[in-house]
Amino acid sequence: MKILVCISKTPDTTAKIAFTDNNKKFAADGVQWIINPYDEWYALVRAIELKEKDPSTVLHLVTVAGADADPIIRKALALGGDEAIRVNTDSHDSFFIASQIASVAKQGGYDIVFTGKETIDYNGSSVGGMVAELLDLPYISLATKFELNGTAATVTREIEGGEETDEASLPLVVSCQKGMAEQRIPNMKGIMGARTKPLKVVEPAATEALTTIVSFETPPAKAGVKLVPADNPAELIRLLHEETKLI
């Protein structure tokens, strides 16, 4: 069994979101970087659990980023995984990124490709589906459970107002969200071991981006909260009915 987990570097969930260079670039100064939580908590940890169940499993990580992502990759390797591949390029176009991952995946011949359901910075929720299409593999998105029986996968995914359980044979691409696994903290043994795990740097395959970011905007500030006295909740209901007309 060979598993590939796609990871991405994102600003910490509490990072201040601001832009520089005439609103053309994210202001990265002083920003803490983390592994995209959906990639780490759900995709990577579920893959590690599968490897713990079947130790013959080969688990690789892939990221498409510059060398500044190396600390993030080491942190991911401290959680688990045998080796990491970094495609040495920076891009914000999901198709470009997906093409790089697909190229790595083709060469590696993986049975499962896991991604997080989206990154918390660009919120595209696109890379998994694009990788699946480029590899011509089935894709199950927004999965909350993943079980394996030989080469048959049983996957539960979110649907509007509930869940659906699907069956598919490997190879398969799955995007993961809450429910798949529980967050883990790397232990000292993992951190020490991660230092010597291979981190291969490969140059990007020739591909064109399909989109470009022209500029960023921050939403207008809220006008401020209208407070209603605690002894008069009926007034709140009246405001919601008459001012907002929502109830």
Binding to other proteins in span 136-175, by CB under 8 A: 136-142, 144, 154, 157-169
Question: Applying CB under 8 A, does 25 fall inside the site for other proteins?
Answer: no
Q: How far is the CB of 83 from other proteins (least distance, A)?
A: 26
Question: Applying CB under 8 A, does 125 fall inside the site for other proteins?
Answer: yes
DSSP character for 210? S
Question: Applying CB under 8 A, does 59 fall inside the site for other proteins?
Answer: no
Residue keyed to tokens 């060469």: 107
Question: Applying CB under 8 A, does 1 fall inside the site for other proteins?
Answer: no
CB-CB contact of 144 with 178 (8 Å): yes
Residue keyed to tokens 């910490």: 12
Report the amino acid identity of residue 120: I
- C-alpha 229/C-alpha 235 separation (Å) is 8
Question: Applying CB under 8 A, does 212 fall inside the site for other proteins?
Answer: yes
Q: How far is the CB of 233 from other proteins (least distance, A)?
A: 4
- C-alpha 237/C-alpha 224 separation (Å) is 18
Question: Applying CB under 8 A, does 206 fall inside the site for other proteins?
Answer: no
User: Between residues 70 and 121, which has the closer beta carbon with respect to other proteins?
Assistant: 121
Helices 94-108 and 127-135, packing angle to 10 deg: 50
Question: Which of 58, 120, 199, 205 is the binder for other proteins (CB under 8 A)?
Answer: 120
Query: 3-class DSSP state for residue 197?
Result: coil
Q: How far is the CB of 49 from other proteins (least distance, A)?
A: 17
User: Between residues 107 and 169, which has the closer beta carbon with respect to other proteins?
Assistant: 169
Beta partners for residue 115, in sequence order: 175
Point out which span in 46-54, 79-87, 122-130, 197-205 binds other proteins (CB under 8 A). 122-130
Point out which span in 63-71, 106-114, 192-200, 212-220 binds other proteins (CB under 8 A). 212-220
- Residue 130: exposure state from Cβ atoms within 10 A (0-12, 13-18, ≥19): buried
Report the amino acid identity of residue 141: S
User: Between residues 15 and 59, which has the closer beta carbon with respect to other proteins?
Assistant: 15
Contacts to other proteins from residues 75-104, by CB under 8 A: 94-95, 98
> Sign of the CA dihedral 174, 175, 178, 184?
positive
